[in-house]
Amino acid sequence: MGAVRDEVVRRLQRWRGTALPIGQAALAAGLSWLVATSVVGHAHPFFAPIAAVVCLGVSLGQRLRRVVELVVGVSVGVGVGDVLISLIGSGPWQIALVVALAMSAAVLLDGGAVIALQSGSSAVLVATLLPPSAGGGLDRMVDALVGGLVGLAVTALLPANPLTVAHRQAKVVLGELITALRGVAKAVTDQDPVAAAGVLARLRSSQEAVDDFKAALQAGGEIATIAPIRWRRKDELGRYQATATPIDYALRNTRVLARRALAALGDGERMPANLPEVLRKYSDALDLLRVDLARGDEPVRARSAVREAVAVATTHQLGGEGFSTRVVLAQVRSVAVDLLQATGLSRAEAAESLPPLSRKGPDDSRAAAPPVLPAAEPVATDGVEP
């Protein structure tokens, strides 16, 4: 009974997460039919609710573009279908030909997947349920436009909170990075290459979380643009948007760091004693960043924490004799630049926050460590994709 109850609760929670977009799609479908019949005067405007539902769907993002693609797709499909079916009639081979030509026309017009699929489905409807004699192609195009516009109006009047999904996805992405940094720190402390390999494997599967985060920000930006009651959320959303790319780069650079730490441990290189503490301080700074973003505050505490952590990232304090250890130092500095950019600094400002790579004194005789790797293009140093 406990397992069944937990499953029911899980499914209800999943439904609650999509309840608003489902309600928006249902309302838009009914309203689009009402507008198309009562205002425009079409007797059977089935393209209107179809367009409204496809425009909204159960996920957010790119709705303005989707309306345009819907209208173009319907226009191409209906146009090709009306012309060909009126000439060659309706039947199995005619339907196959109409769909192939409608989708080909959409592709040749450089349309996206939505345009091609909508062209094909519209052509099928014209060739089967609604032959040309049942109504003009222009009426169907108008119905599609009505459905798309009603869908946008429902989104604007009953918008989701653009920060809700951003909060959730940011928590996941930052959590992945925090876990990775602490995992590498522990692996280095314990001299455990197996643990380092586990951290690296998890990092290699983290890109999906980054993609979901960026998609959530895109959807949130769209809502904040078209929904007047959400305009005041733009600044808070902007802070999340400013973190997306730097955090993506930080994950990539941490992946290189974990790989080289694994190589160093495997080769028996002596890792700097204070390296784990630096990585743990990075993770603590990310905890602060997560809290500040959720509160809508300027992440000054996180910025200060990163600067404090990276203060020891010099060849004197983190340098090593082994190649992998020296690359780890370069990645420690690169991750710091990424994290500082995530707190709102420019790349130049972030780079200026780093301590000099080397100091004058007896340690100058040591080989120079690699420079900070570009945050935009993390470099793989062992022939494997970062």
Residue listed under structure tokens 């994950």: 251
Out of 56-70, 78-92, 315-329, least confident range: 56-70
Q: Could you tell me the maximum CA-CA distance found in the chain, to the nearest angstrom? A: 92
Domain ranges of the chain: 2-157, 162-365
pLDDT one-digit tens code per residue, 100-157: 888 888 787 765 666 787 788 878 877 776 655 555 567 777 888 888 888 888 877 8
- Which range among 171-180, 194-203, 367-376 shows the weakest confidence by mean pLDDT? 367-376
Please state, in angstroms and as integers, the Cα–Cα distance from residue 44 to each residue in 40, 85, 136, 145, 367, following that order.
11, 20, 12, 15, 79
CA atoms of 215 and 212, how far apart (whole Å): 5
Alpha helices in 41-91 (DSSP H): 47-56, 63-88
CATH of 162-365, one of 2.60.40, 1.20.58, 1.20.1740, 1.10.3470: 1.20.58
Torsion angle (degrees, nearest 10) of CA 362, 365, 371, 372: -20
- DSSP calls for 181-225: HHHHHHHHHHT-HHHHHHHHHHHTT-HHHHHHHHHHHHHHHHHHH
Residue 376 has pLDDT above 60, yes or no: no
> Distance of CA 213 to CAs 96, 151, 174, 240, Å?
40, 24, 10, 9
Give the whole-angstrom CA distance, residue 341 versus residue 143: 47
Mean of the pLDDT values across residues 182-206? 93
Q: 194 is written with which tokens?
A: 């197996």
Q: Per-residue confidence at 364, pLDDT binned at 50, 70, 90?
A: very low
Kindly report, residue by residue over 267-291, the tens digit of the pLDDT: 888 888 888 999 999 999 999 999 9
Please state, in angstroms and as integers, the Cα–Cα distance from residue 385 to each residue in 130, 154, 325, 380, following that order.
53, 44, 19, 6
Query: How many whole angstroms separate alpha carbon 155 and alpha carbon 23?
Result: 10
Q: How many residues does the chain have?
A: 386
How large is the average pLDDT for residues 15-20? 76
Please report how the helices 63-88 and 92-108 are oriented relative to each other, as an axis angle in degrees rounded to 10.
140
Can you give 294-337 as a three-state secondary structure string? HHCCCCHHHHHHHHHHHCCCCHHHHCCCCHHHHHHHHHHHHHHH
Compute the distance between CA of residue 381 and CA of residue 386 in angstroms, rounded to an integer. 8
Res. 317: pLDDT tops 70: no
Distance (Å, whole) CA 142 – CA 48? 8
